[in-house]
Homo-oligomer: A and B are copies of this chain.
């Protein structure tokens, strides 16, 4: 089966801004005030020493960062950089008006091919990585799309990373659950790309979450230090459950989130000036009734749009979270929530959009059906981002003259010549007549999604990988597994 691949989107439509300059500056100032007056905790002895040496005010783990220091460090972060793939055609530019889409991340459960929700396995993860490889508009294979719970935790990162490398030739994401695991992933990248290449190029994106409010913990900082010092990319992501770990205010939540992201990026620049960090965040709003995280609400839209303006203010690449949903099925709820969030994220100008395929149940469940349905929706965003085409306006007017009042266009030469590209034709959305749809089995979108995923996997062909490299990767895994325990301490 031929693999279609869309390049990283070069967005040719404008960003959408909800804040005027004054509002933007108010949030910026609020974030600086938080870092200067309240401070933020870096729960890592080395990090604290680095901040002290840099001139911040340190009180145990609490760091108060003067604005000049903060902004000088943030300014060292590159605005644009490239994440290299083992297939150079899949290299991913990050920043500016580029937009890359990536799958969901971190679900313990899968919604499987039997419509069952169960714990994920390595076989599930292999399949998700294959689907990410075959999805035209996915620009990253991801990492732990679902948790392979059949693999012991201390060894899991090796198999996750190998699966992403083996089953796809797109860039992949690196583990962050311990500094040693980040080192293992880097070692695997060196086997894949060569030592020298990895020293000089960014080949891994890793996702490091802030324990909001205002805590960077030792585990996350450990991974961040490893990647930043190796000049690899880290998405520095406050994990916001707005209203629970931020104030019950959209602008207040964004101010805190902005403080957390800037502090993390500034710290990465202490680790290695110029290291390629991405301003990140995960956003859910919390139901004040049940405490449950919510997706697709108007405040999530606002917050995403405001964060986009902030990232541009600092000239930083931005990661956001796209097709998020809280549903426990691939039903109308899942889709309402996903697209409500995605439009705001897309128009915010985000450069690296995660959770674009498969996310459900507030991230607890990765769905095969939703994965492929979402991928088609993302292909539509990819086309949306290219903007309307004007080059055929003259020809189209000629067709109007030819057809005239009361005619029809389906048989005209203009239509024959343009029908392949004029209008996107989704394959997983059924637009046939009711009668035809009934004849076809009266299937809902979830059923069609599962069928499409099955079909893709049945026709999967792995991208070529040098057998010597493959064997070296497997040998490294064996070597590491021999010394790693099966259980956590």
Q: Which residues of A line the B interface, CB within 8 A?
A: 13-14, 16-19, 23, 26-27, 30, 33-34, 37-41, 62, 117, 211, 213-215, 242-253, 255-256, 285-294, 296-299, 301-302, 306, 326-340, 343, 347, 361-362, 364-365, 370, 373, 377, 380-381, 383-384, 387-390, 392-393, 395-397, 399-401, 403-410, 412, 414-415, 418-420, 422-426, 428-434, 437-438, 442, 444-446, 449
- Residue of B288, B301, B393 touching A251 (CB-CB under 8 A): B393
Measured CA separation A37–B330 after assembly (Å): 51
Measured CA separation A389–B247 after assembly (Å): 13
Q: Is the CB of A251 within 8 A of B292?
A: no
**Among all A-B residue pairs, the 8 with the closest Cβ atoms:** A252-B396, A335-B335, A288-B419, A214-B405, A339-B339, A247-B396, A249-B396, A248-B422
Q: Is the CB of B339 within 8 A of A336?
A: yes
Q: Is the CB of A426 within 8 A of B388?
A: no
* Minimum C-beta distance from A433 to chain B (A): 7
- Residue of B255, B293, B373, B409 touching A393 (CB-CB under 8 A): B255
Measured CA separation A34–B402 after assembly (Å): 11
Measured CA separation A444–B446 after assembly (Å): 12
Measured CA separation A157–B176 after assembly (Å): 66
Given contacts A16-B16, A400-B256, A422-B243, contact A211 B384 (CB under 8 A): no
Q: Is the CB of B434 within 8 A of A364?
A: yes
Q: Is the CB of B248 within 8 A of A414?
A: yes
Residues of B within 8 A of A247 (CB): 395-397, 399-400, 403, 409, 412, 414-415, 418
Measured CA separation A432–B364 after assembly (Å): 12
Q: Would you give 13 A-B contacts (Cβ < 8 Å), ordered by A?
A: A40-B405, A214-B400, A243-B419, A244-B409, A247-B414, A248-B422, A250-B388, A250-B389, A251-B389, A287-B423, A302-B387, A326-B430, A336-B338
Residues of B within 8 A of A410 (CB): 243-244, 286, 291
Residues of B within 8 A of A19 (CB): 388
Which residue of chain B lies nearest to A421 when distances are taken between CB atoms in the complex?
A: B248
Measured CA separation A479–B433 after assembly (Å): 40
Which residue of chain B lies nearest to A16 when distances are taken between CB atoms in the complex?
A: B16
Measured CA separation A289–B444 after assembly (Å): 21
- Residue of B18, B242, B442 touching A14 (CB-CB under 8 A): B18
